[in-house]
Amino acid sequence: MALDPSAVSRFLEPLAREPGEIADVFVERRQEIRLDWRDGVVVATRRTATEGLAVRWRRGSAERLCAVSRTDDTGLREASRQLQGALGRGVVPIRAAAPPSGDAWRPLSGERWRRRLEAMLARHAPRHDFRWTLAEVEREISPARAPGATSLRRLISLDGTFTASSRRGDETRRFSFHGPESDTLADELRDALARAAEPHEATVPCPEGDADVVLAGGCAAVLFHEILSHPLEGGAVSPLSGLSEARVAVAELEVRDDATRLDLFGGYECDDEGVRPRPVKLLDAGRLGGRLTGRDPGAAAGRETSNGHGRRAEPGDAPLPRGANVVVAPGGTTREEILRRLDQGFWIDALDAGSVELASGSFRLRFPRARRVRRGRLSDELGPGLLAGEILGVLKRIETGLGRESHVYRPLGWCARGGQVVPVQGEAPDLIVRGLAVRSLA
């Protein structure tokens, strides 16, 4: 991305004259390759190359943002001109728009992945309907009176359904996997596919009522994303507001939001306001910790209040404080011991959706399948259902004795809030939650 830095500061300077004003230029270039797979064959391909630029001004509770879909100096001039006009400040003179600079996109190929996927799918899930996506997102943030920052992420997703065999015959199962591109990701994907394709027993509808559950395989990350990340986003009002440093869970529980974990889907080197992220302890030895924050124009000069969680879905969106990667510290309990302690209940190792209502603190998590646990042993396969509860109540009922290993939960990939969808992920050990309301969706 080649914006002239002197032009950027020239346009930002009149927007951030006062100490309480924030102004920045945000540039994004996004390339995406998408392959639609059906039964081992690519049936459609998509290639997109889109870009956008936004100039933002903020003071106190007022914010203005102008976004255009070109990232050159003409786009910067156009957006700045519109913003300065909206603020009634010295308007940038009109200049004839230069033609777009041409096709200057970084090479991005999906061929290596296509060949790997062909072999992987043939072996583990030959009958499928999948969508594979490789997205490269390049961002540049230039704040007024602060150093600029750039970031580049390559994210891979595989989503869809496949036919697996089970004791009752063929079964269509959903599969979802998200991760940043790395040397080991293909192996992880292969292992995840192999696990997902394992044969299952015939399911029975999930019994309804209050039950104790083990959230296993890292899926507890979805629970903490809903009950800690969202309520602790800067500005959110929830049952956790006003309980700063209060003990709300067992002392063994340590949960942090760690955007610096670049091996997870939600990681980044700098947030969308140009601030380097810091890991934030959401729960420190069972006590409520800090909040996820973005830049605050009201902060005293020289005092940065942001912990690097100002995130945007795209250039046309203003940054909001959002979570990134929920990381739960492991304990020291074995899987067998957890099963023994649960005694009766459900073993759930996949959650495919979640939501939280912040005002009341009630949340819901959807699971596609579960195993019943009887006398500390896994028994019947259960069909899909919903888990429901209330934030403070469920935090109190998380039992001491967390699993000794943390598992990355790759099916968690995206989070939507106010129409803005950003990548997120998390890892968590197996843990027991007592007294969740369970409802069957069979």
- Binding stretches for other proteins (CB under 8 A): 33, 35, 41-52, 61-70, 78, 82-83, 86, 100-103, 105, 108-111, 114, 237, 316-318, 357-360, 364, 418-419, 441
What is the smallest separation between the CB atom of 247 and other proteins, expressed in angstroms? 20
Q: What is the distance between the alpha carbons of residues 52 and 70, in angstroms, rounded to a whole number?
A: 5
Q: What is the distance between the alpha carbons of residues 363 and 357, in angstroms, rounded to a whole number?
A: 6
Q: What is the distance between the alpha carbons of residues 321 and 312, in angstroms, rounded to a whole number?
A: 9
Token pair for 404: 């000794």
Axis crossing angle, helix 111-124 with helix 185-196, rounded to the nearest 10: 20
Taking alpha carbons only, the member of 230, 166, 157, 162 closest to residue 189 is: 157
Q: 199 or 235: whose CB is closer to other proteins? A: 235
Token pair for 93: 């003179």
Q: 69 or 379: whose CB is closer to other proteins? A: 69
Degrees, nearest 5: CA angle 25-30-32 = 170
What is the smallest separation between the CB atom of 66 and other proteins, expressed in angstroms? 5
What is the smallest separation between the CB atom of 229 and other proteins, expressed in angstroms? 17
Q: 66 or 395: whose CB is closer to other proteins? A: 66
Q: What is the distance between the alpha carbons of residues 324 and 317, in angstroms, rounded to a whole number?
A: 17
Q: 203 or 406: whose CB is closer to other proteins? A: 203
Taking alpha carbons only, the member of 75, 59, 96 closest to residue 27 is: 75
What is the smallest separation between the CB atom of 86 and other proteins, expressed in angstroms? 7
Q: 279 or 368: whose CB is closer to other proteins? A: 368
What is the smallest separation between the CB atom of 384 and other proteins, expressed in angstroms? 11
Beta-carbon-side half-sphere exposure of residue 35 (alpha carbons within 13 Å): 20
What is the smallest separation between the CB atom of 306 and other proteins, expressed in angstroms? 17
Tell how many helices (H) and how many strands (E) occur in the chain.
7, 25
Q: 68 or 283: whose CB is closer to other proteins? A: 68
Q: 41 or 301: whose CB is closer to other proteins? A: 41
What is the smallest separation between the CB atom of 50 and other proteins, expressed in angstroms? 5
Taking alpha carbons only, the member of 435, 434, 412, 432 closest to residue 423 is: 412
Q: 52 or 308: whose CB is closer to other proteins? A: 52
In the chain the first and final C-alpha atoms are separated, in Å, by: 51
Structural contact between residues 81 and 95, judged by C-beta atoms closer than 8 angstroms: no
Taking alpha carbons only, the member of 142, 138, 69, 144 closest to residue 107 is: 138
What is the smallest separation between the CB atom of 222 and other proteins, expressed in angstroms? 17
What is the smallest separation between the CB atom of 62 and other proteins, expressed in angstroms? 5
Contacts for 177 with CB less than 8 Å, ≥ 6 apart: 157, 158, 159, 189, 192, 193, 410, 411
Q: 58 or 410: whose CB is closer to other proteins? A: 58
